Amino acid sequence: MNGGGTGVLGAKRLAFEDIPVIDIDGLFSDKPADRQRVADVVGEACRNVGFFYIKNHRMPETAITAARDAAAEYFTLPLDEKMKLDINEIQRHRGYVPQGGLYVDPGTRPDMQEGFELSVELPDDEPLYRDGNIMIGPNVWPDGLPGFQPAVYGYFERVVDLGHVLFKAFALALGIDEDFFEDKITKPMGQLRLIYYPTREGPVTADRIGIGAHTDYECFTILWQDDVGGLQVGNRDGDWVEAPPIPGTLIINVGDMMMRWSNDQFVSTPHRVINNSRRERYSLPFFFGLNYDTIVTPLAECCGPDNPPLYPPTKSGFWTDQMITDAYDYRKAYRGKLPKSELTG
């Protein structure tokens, strides 16, 4: 999406408490009251901000550091080495995305970043993969970097585990069964994207920033960002608010699919990245999606006589494919040719 009224490049340097910092230690408790207590705070953040930091999240610093270092080692390879896994050649949502390959805000020029895409490791006899699904199947890994796969996929597995914990918190916050989401994320379209933002020379212009203004289209995102900073969150007053790095935390933000499921109780908030630090920047966003065939319909608990459903049933896999096709250059040949994700009759 575009930034609407949040189109200026400056951001207010507000105290980080304006984006809540939530201690989620209670989510790991075997006591339902402890989990509900944290879930209530999470729900408040999802309704009012759409972004929050989490601490005591149980993600080992060693796993984060290993993944970050592996990403840095990969992105410093010569371009011809990285292009051996060019997503334009692979034609699935795996591998290297060169600079110029992504437009998260279609109203701007390509984002100033490089990426590497991976997801849950599934074999090549997986039926959806054999049917040509771009989101499902085996990953691809660079040759000559023996530590890359164990570090990066090790991080992926840990962040998926954390995501399951957060899904339970979202369920409790919405007043539904704690395990409501579990059978919908057995083979999730959960994408880990390693991102490298190069150093910038000269002024930053509105059409050439790290990532343009957008909302995330899956259920929620778990983000690790390095100490360079640059993430900005758009508030409801049309201002950009800085979301600076806070040691020991990860950032969570609600995505479009969770907003639909909650019938707009939870808000999917626009955000962008501007790296004007004159330093390289790395980040590790994980976008937690659903099983391909999951149908998302506004929850009955979020609707009522004075609050009718705002969205038709939506097929998760079609939705994700459409969003990726709109944003990624390697999918441009498929634009306007995909099945509609909203099941209207």
Can you give the pLDDT at residue 2?
Answer: 33
| For residues 219-230, average pLDDT | 95
Can you give the pLDDT at residue 164?
Answer: 98
Cβ distance 234 to 36 under 8 Å?
no
Can you give the pLDDT at residue 155?
Answer: 98
Q: Is the pLDDT of residue 236 over 90?
A: no
Helix runs in the chain, H state only:
32-48, 61-75, 79-82, 87-90, 127-130, 148-174, 256-261, 316-327
Can you give the pLDDT at residue 1?
Answer: 35
Residue 223 has phi, psi (to 5 degrees) of -120, 130
Q: How far is CA 254 from the centre of its chain?
A: 9
Rounded to whole angstroms, the Cα distance separating 77 from 109 reads: 25
242 contacts: CB under 8 Å, gap ≥ 6: 11, 12, 13, 14, 229, 231, 232, 233
pTM of the model: 0.94
Is 284 domain-assigned?
yes
List Cβ<8 Å contacts ≥24 apart for 30-37: 35/168, 35/169, 35/172, 35/178, 36/172
What would the pLDDT profile of 34-61 be if each residue is shown by its tens digit? 999 999 999 999 999 999 999 999 999 9
Mean pLDDT of the chain: 91
Q: Is the pLDDT of residue 268 over 90?
A: yes
Is 344 domain-assigned?
no
| For residues 215-238, average pLDDT | 92
| For residues 320-343, average pLDDT | 95
What would the pLDDT profile of 144-178 be if each residue is shown by its tens digit? 999 999 999 999 999 999 999 999 999 999 999 99
Cβ distance 301 to 314 under 8 Å?
no
Can you give the pLDDT at residue 103?
Answer: 77
Rounded to whole angstroms, the Cα distance separating 220 from 195 reads: 18
Rounded to whole angstroms, the Cα distance separating 228 from 280 reads: 8
Identify any residues that bridge with 296 across adjacent strands, giving them in sequence order. Answer: 314
Is 279 domain-assigned?
yes
Rounded to whole angstroms, the Cα distance separating 99 from 260 reads: 31
Binned at pLDDT 50, 70 and 90, residue 10 comes out as low
What would the pLDDT profile of 276-317 be if each residue is shown by its tens digit? 777 899 999 999 999 999 999 999 999 999 999 999 999 999
Question: Would residue 286 be called left, alpha or beta, if left means φ above 0 and alpha means ψ between -120 and 50 degrees?
Answer: beta
Q: Is the pLDDT of residue 7 over 50?
A: no
How many domains in the chain?
1
Cβ distance 282 to 243 under 8 Å?
no
Cβ distance 264 to 319 under 8 Å?
no
Nearest to 67 by CA among 139, 148, 143, 146: 148
Can you give the pLDDT at residue 109?
Answer: 63
Instruction: Tell me the CATH number at 208.
Output: 2.60.120.330
Can you give the pLDDT at residue 212?
Answer: 79
Is 339 domain-assigned?
no
Least confident interval from 6-10, 119-123, 209-213: 6-10
DSSP 99-142: TTSB-SSTTSSPPS-EEEEE-----TT-HHHHTT-SSSS-----
Is 343 domain-assigned?
no
Is 23 domain-assigned?
yes
| For residues 95-116, average pLDDT | 82
Can you give the pLDDT at residue 16?
Answer: 42
Is 6 domain-assigned?
no
The residue range of the domain holding 215 is: 16-334
